[in-house]
Amino acid sequence: MLSWSLKKNTNHLLPTGSHSCRCEKVRHAPKLVVLTGGPGGGKTAVLEMARRYFCQHVAITPEAASIVFGGGFPRSDTPEGRRAAQRAIFCVQKALETVALEGRQSAVILCDRGTLDGLAYWPDSRQSFFEEFDIDFEEELSRYSAVVHVEVPALAWGYEKNRIRKESVSQARKIDQRIAEAWSGHPRVMTVNAEAGFLDKLAYAIELLRGELPRCCQTHLHAISEKTN
């Protein structure tokens, strides 16, 4: 989950990359890129790194579930309680993406999860999920240009619960597997393996996301690399 406390570009409604871009484009044809994975996989660290190293043409949507549950929505383990939570999360997710897309100031919109993540938490069948939200699976997949899945490690090292994240490591791994199944139909799913060390996972995830940026938004990254070498 990405905190709303991140530094925001005054020209955007959402957090963006912190670097100025060398391209002079005022408008872009934005695309949605999903960063997903089970609880504790490292998404938050990847998003923070993206904010630090990418340019202002990369917008970052916060996790809808954190907005919903952080705002006081009750977490119930009953089937109806889980359905209610996913209805709220789905609506918030769609609204965040709509806000990010409408300005056309961003080349890439990096989404902290996507709408199909809800399949991993839905208590009923896949088909009932699609019927509930009146969506077509293939059409929903096509809304996203790419999916980067950061896997949850098998061991408890580095995994911490908080007021939003209540799952055990075992539960987080099961959710992670269901998320992988939810996105398995997408033609461009890229996986950051759980067996890699944390820093290696972080570096690989950023490199995958970098590949989704237009060439004009990558030039400043070469300058950063040269300064750090």
Let me know if residue 10 belongs to a domain: no
Return the number of other C-beta atoms located less than 10 Å from residue 26's C-beta. Answer: 8
Reduced to 3 states, what is the DSSP secondary structure of residue 145? strand
pLDDT band at 27 (very low <50, low <70, confident <90, very high): confident
Strand partners, 110: 33, 60
Q: Which domain holds residue 77?
A: 31-220
CATH of the domain at 209: 3.40.50.300
Let me know if residue 161 belongs to a domain: yes
Q: Model confidence over 144-188: pLDDT tens digits?
A: 999 999 999 876 555 555 555 567 788 889 999 999 999 999 999
Let me know if residue 62 belongs to a domain: yes
pTM (predicted TM-score): 0.86
| C-beta separation of 32 from 186 below 8 A | no
CA-based nearest residue to 74, from 63, 88, 91, 62 = 88
Spatial separation of the C-alpha atoms in residues 97 and 33, rounded to whole Å: 11
Let me know if residue 108 belongs to a domain: yes
CA-based nearest residue to 55, from 24, 95, 85 = 24
Q: Model confidence over 194-227: pLDDT tens digits?
A: 887 888 999 999 999 999 998 888 766 644 444 4
Helix H or strand E encompassing 76 = none
